[in-house]
Amino acid sequence: MGQDAYFILPEDYKTWVVANREEGSAYRMVNGEPMGRAAVCWLTNVDHWRRHTMLALNTMENNLKNNAKLRKKLLQDYGSADVYPKYDNYDAIEVPFVDAIPKDYDGAMGVPITFLDKYNPEQFEILNANDYRRSSSVPCKAHGLIKDKDGAIGQVTTYARILIRNRHPEPAQAPFVPEEDAGAEETGEEEDEGFRPGM
């Protein structure tokens, strides 16, 4: 998603960080000196090809049944992997991973901030969470995010979330059921018992 940014560490912190942190996570050695490390990501509104890349999505049912990471998170945090949980204070569902955004849901969804570098304005609309508060007792937030204790589900606090809506949700499809061989019934003739592969 981003690049590393390096910065000078205070002298008294250099010894501590080398002794207590793993190189690569909190610092890097540059020319024999420990340098602080931070991951950064530049976001822009300049038009480029990634802005028009459609995110590949699965249905809500498929995600809940087959996305092991999603099932584990929902079971661990909310005790059930049967439905996407709803926020206590916002009229939206919690989607803890970008790869778990359902393609057939047409309501508001709270997604991680890592969604931003995958955002396609032709596919999704970014919403202001203040417009989806369940009651006026939930404070309006200037940033428009679901955040802090107000973003809880069953009193379990979530990380900061961006509220989005799919601009073109695909309706859930009924499962495919093969038709019976109607030809034999209509004519009263039996099926041809001729050659079949595997005989």
Same domain for 54 and 84, yes or no, is: yes
Residues 96, 155: contact at Cβ < 8 Å?
Answer: no
Same domain for 36 and 76, yes or no, is: no
- Residue 99 placed within a domain: yes
The pLDDT value given to residue 108: 97
Q: How many domains does the chain have?
A: 2
Same domain for 57 and 117, yes or no, is: yes
- Residue 63 placed within a domain: yes
Same domain for 15 and 84, yes or no, is: no
Same domain for 78 and 130, yes or no, is: yes
Same domain for 86 and 150, yes or no, is: yes
Q: Is 95 exposed, middle or buried (0-12, 13-18, 19+ CB in 10 A)?
A: buried
Percentage of the residues of the chain whose pLDDT score is greater than 70: 84
- What pLDDT band is residue 134 in, cutting at 50, 70 and 90? very high
Residue 21: domain span: 3-40
* 69-128 confidence digits (pLDDT tens): 999 999 999 999 999 999 999 999 999 999 999 999 999 999 999 899 899 999 999 999
Q: Phi and psi (nearest 5°) for 162?
A: -95, 135
Same domain for 72 and 125, yes or no, is: yes
- Residue 100 placed within a domain: yes
- Residue 185 placed within a domain: no
Same domain for 12 and 64, yes or no, is: no
43 or 177, which is more confident: 43
Same domain for 33 and 66, yes or no, is: no
- Residue 190 placed within a domain: no
Residues 4, 39: contact at Cβ < 8 Å?
Answer: yes
CB atoms within 10 A of CB 41: 11
- Calpha distance 54→187 (Å, rounded): 48
Same domain for 14 and 78, yes or no, is: no
- Model pTM score: 0.70
- Residue 26 placed within a domain: yes
Angle at 166 between CA 123 and CA 45, to 5 degrees: 45
CA separation, residue 194 to residues 24, 111, 136, 191, 197 (Å): 69, 57, 73, 9, 10
Same domain for 31 and 55, yes or no, is: no
Mean pLDDT (whole number) for 188-198: 51
Same domain for 67 and 10, yes or no, is: no
- What pLDDT band is residue 175 in, cutting at 50, 70 and 90? low
The pLDDT value given to residue 199: 46
- 25: nearest Cα among 38, 14, 34: 38
- Residue 125 placed within a domain: yes
